[in-house]
Structure 1
Amino acid sequence: MLPTPVTLLTLETSRVQPSAGQDLPHTRTRPVHWLATAAALAAVVAATVMIQPTDATATSDTGPLAARQKAAAGAPAPEKADYPLDCGPWEAGVVEHGAADFDGDGVAETIAVVRCATEGGTPPSGVFVLARAERAGAPPRVVRTLLDPAERLSVDDFAVRGGVISATLRGYSSQKVPRCCPDQERSVSWRWTDGDFALKAAPTAMGV
């Protein structure tokens, strides 16, 4: 049986819930709200999220931009993490990743787009935040789930720039739509705000 489709019409600004038992430094736990409706939607033209680095004028090798780049160089390796995906006989594969020091503590976090590495089809993606391991030799910790694979969405146009995560989420308006060809899309971004990741969804072509 095909999964129940998730519409992107009602995706709203929200806070992101940390993974169980995990947290980033200096954060407060707040729930994520991924709302779904039964309304079908034709192809949506998603607005482009324009990102500008917050330190665009910091060009020296000792400024804030250089410090953030140095921190990102020591970010957790995404291929070494254990992700909360049930892939059956398949393995979880890292599709894309980026890094930044989001909370400003001098230690970078890694953002990883992950999905089951099947031989065919378009398995849903998850977007996870990784922090350094608590002890030497241990895998990086998954401390946030920005997009749960259970939402049955794919991720395109992923980028981490200036401390902002941006992506285009693609989904299906009904179970009749072939799983190869999503007919819904919406641009989203996550920004570190007030001690947590804040999700912002771009307006759809229908102005929702």
Structure 2
Amino acid sequence: MQQSAVPELAHTHARPIHWLATATAVAGVVALSSVLQPNSATAAQTAGPGAKNTPAATTPPDPTGVDFPLECGPVKAIVVKKATGDLDGDGSPETVAVVHCDSPMGTPPDGVYVLTRTTETATPRLIATLINPKDSITVSDIAVRGGAVVADLLGYSSIDVPRCCPDVKNSAKWQWKNGAFVRTTPAGAQSV
């Protein structure tokens, strides 16, 4: 018999420590698999893309955590008012959010945004900007009535009016028509 040029390998002989390590690894896999189980099966079918009145479709979108198109610098954008209702007549409610930068002083201008969600996802989606913060308007009240967004708005008669103290009050109404929100404003802005 010819001698091997390679010395006998120590790991080819099973010792009790090897069996103990293997048993521990198998026990860990069994324990982990008992914790991680798949969801139980149900007989109910999931709703397709055209389904209406599912819980996701009937719950208004939550504006918390939505990335609104505001430039706030070191402060963050906050939702100060919201109203919900079906604005486009599809049976699913939308959310109208009044948002401004969380400024420590003054009266920051508001932005008014419309959020919706589809039945495929529960994530809110921004679909319209009704008031841009660059317009320097503050929203004193907002509601959804009869499928329309109605708001009381405060603004400024000139650039000389301090931004803390709006001096013009207006009302506005937006309705969904032909795939877009159309604004109607009652005649006669009032001084505050």
> Do they fold alike, i.e. is TM over 0.5?
yes
Q: Which residue of 2 aligns with 1:120?
A: 105
Q: Which residue of 2 aligns with 1:161?
A: 145
Greater radius of gyration (CA)? 2
Q: Which residue of 2 aligns with 1:97?
A: 82
User: When the two structures are aligned, how many residues end up with a matched partner?
Assistant: 138
CA deviation map 1:155-190 (0-9, x unaligned): 112111221211122111222211111111211111
CA distance in 2, matches of 1:140, 1:71: 11
CA distance in 1, matches of 2:63, 2:176: 20
Would the aligned equivalents of 2:89 and 2:147 in 1 still touch at CA under 8 Å? no
What's the secondary structure of 1:182's corresponding residue? coil
- Matching of residue 185 in structure 1 with residue 169 in structure 2: yes
Structure 2 vs 1, CA of residues 72 and 183 (structure 1 numbering), >3 Å: closer, same or farther? farther
Would the aligned equivalents of 2:56 and 2:119 in 1 still touch at CA under 8 Å? no
Q: Which runs of 4+ in 1 moved over 4 A?
A: 70-73, 133-137
Aligned pair partner of 2:61 in 49, 53, 76: 76
> Which 5+ residue runs of structure 1 have no aligned equivalent?
1-66
CA deviation map 1:87-133 (0-9, x unaligned): 11111111111111222222221111111111111000000011116
Structure 2 vs 1, CA of residues 198 and 159 (structure 1 numbering), >3 Å: closer, same or farther? same
Would the aligned equivalents of 2:107 and 2:164 in 1 still touch at CA under 8 Å? yes
Q: Which has the higher contact order (CA 8 A, sep 6+)?
A: 1
Would the aligned equivalents of 1:80 and 1:140 in 2 still touch at CA under 8 Å? no
CA distance in 2, matches of 1:133, 1:192: 17
Give the TM-score normalised by the residue count of structure 1: 0.59
Structure 2 vs 1, CA of residues 72 and 179 (structure 1 numbering), >3 Å: closer, same or farther? farther
Would the aligned equivalents of 1:111 and 1:130 in 2 still touch at CA under 8 Å? yes
> Which 5+ residue runs of structure 2 have no aligned equivalent?
1-51
Q: Which residue of 1 aligns with 2:128?
A: 144
Alignment of 1:48-63 (within 5 A): none
What's the secondary structure of 1:150's corresponding residue? helix
CA distance in 2, matches of 1:205, 1:143: 28
What's the secondary structure of 1:79's corresponding residue? coil
Q: Which residue of 1 aligns with 2:158?
A: 174
Give the TM-score normalised by the residue count of structure 2: 0.64
CA distance in 2, matches of 1:163, 1:136: 23
CA distance in 2, matches of 1:177, 1:90: 25
Aligned pair partner of 1:108 in 93, 100, 123: 93
Deviation at 1:142, TM superposition (A): 0.9
Let me know the Cα RMSD of the aligned residues.
2.6
CA distance in 2, matches of 1:92, 1:184: 25
CA distance in 1, matches of 2:118, 2:65: 10
Code of the aligned partner of 2:154: R
Would the aligned equivalents of 1:72 and 1:100 in 2 still touch at CA under 8 Å? no
Q: Which residue of 2 aligns with 1:129?
A: 114
